[in-house]
Amino acid sequence: MRELNKWFLENRREFPWRVDPTPYKVWISEVMLQQTRASVVIPYFEKWMALFPEVLALADAPIERVIKTWEGLGYYSRARNLHAGAKQIVAEFRGEIPSRREELMSIRGLGPYTVGAILSFGFKKRAAAVDGNVTRVLARYFSVEENVCKQAVKRKIEGHAEAVLDKSEPWITAEALIELGATICTPKPRCEACPLEKGCLGKERAELLPIKNEEKKTILLKRAVIWLEVEGKVLVKKGEKGKVMADLYEFPYFEMGQDVWVLRKIEREMAGLFGMQAELVEKLPRLVHTFTRYKAELYPFRFEAKRLREMEGYQWVDRNKLEELPFSSGHRRLLAL
C-alpha cells in the first residue's frame, strides 16, 4: 500500500484536527465527523477546542453548555456520551485517555471505529479504523460480494484493513483509506484518479459495491408548533432523559397526523392543553426538520396571551435569553425567524 500512503501525503486535505493529532483531538473530531461533512465540522471543532481544550475541561463543564456547543451537529446523544466519557476518564484514568484497546472500549460512547482511530492517529499504534468509507474502499478493492452489514463480513473487512497497514507507519495507511473513501472511492467512484486502481478486484462493479441492507423508510411527521408569548416570556419544554431530544429545548407542538389542521382546531387544542386563551399574531413559514428516520414538517404559529400560567413540564423563558439555550435544529430555525 505504499502507493496509497504516497498519494495521501501528497493529496490529503488540511484540517485542524490533523495538526498535532493528540488522542483527545482525535476522539472529539472523529465523533463530530460521524455522518457529517468535514467542512461542516471545522468551525464546531475549533469552537469546542477553545471551550474544552482537554478532558478535564470537558468533564467539568455543565451538560447544557456542552449541548449548546454541539447545537447544529445533530445526534445529541454523541455530545452527552462525550461529556459522560470525559467524566469517566477523569474518575477512572486520572484524566488521561488510555492507550490500551480494552480500556478505551470501556469508555462510554466509544465503539470499535473510534477506538481504532484514537489508537492509530492519536497514539501512532498499529490499529485499523474501519468506518463506512473504509468499508466501501476495501469491499471494492477485494471484491467482497457479501452483505457488509453482517458481523462475519464486518470481521472480514476488518481483517483486510489490518492486513494492508504499512509496517513502519501504519497510521498513515489507516487515515489514507478514510481519505480515499471520502474523496475518490465515493458512492460514485472516480477510478481513474485512484492510486489503487491497478490492483482493485472490484473495479468493474464498483458502483454495485458494497452490498448493504436496504435503508429504512423515512417516516413523515406533521407538527403544529406554538410560539406562545406572555409579557416577553416564551413557553418552552426541555427534552426528557432517554428521549431522542433529551436536554434540548423545543416549543410546544401538536402531532397533526396526515392532515394540516385549520387554525380553529389548533386554538381548541391549545385551550385544552394550556387552559388559557391566546390570540394569533402571525402564521410563520413552514420548516422541515429531519432527525434519525423522521422527516418532520413544522407549521409554526405565533400567539400572545395576557396572563402567564405555570404548566407542569413546561417553563417560561425571557425572550432575550432563548438564544442561550440549546434547541433542536428545527426549533432553533424557528427561533431564528
Residue 303: name the closest of 225, 224, 223, 227 by CA. 227
Please check whether residue 174 is in contact with residue 137, taking contact to mean a CB–CB distance below 8 angstroms. no
Rounded CA-CA distance 244/75 in Å is 8
Q: In the beta sheet, which residues pair with residue 303?
A: 228, 280
* HEC string for the chain: CHHHHHHHHHHCCCCHHHCCCCHHHHHHHHHHHCCCCHHHHHHHHHHHHHHCCCHHHHHHCCHHHHHHHHCCCCCCHHHHHHHHHHHHHHHHHCCCCCCCHHHHHCCCCCCHHHHHHHHHHHCCCCCCCCCHHHHHHHHHHCCCCCECCCHHHHHHHHHHHHHCCCCCCHHHHHHHHHHHHHHCCCCCCCHHHCCCHHHCCCHHHHHHCCECCCCCCCEEEEEEEEEEEECCEEEEEECCCCCCCCCCEECCEEECCCCCCCHHHHHHHHHHHHCCCCEEEEECCCEEEEECCEEEEEEEEEEECCCCCCCCCCEEEEHHHHHHCCECHHHHHHHHC
Nearest to 132 by CA among 186, 170, 189, 173: 186
- What interhelical angle do 63-70 and 38-51 show, nearest 10? 150
Q: Which residue has the cell 423563558?
A: 317
Catalytic residues: 30
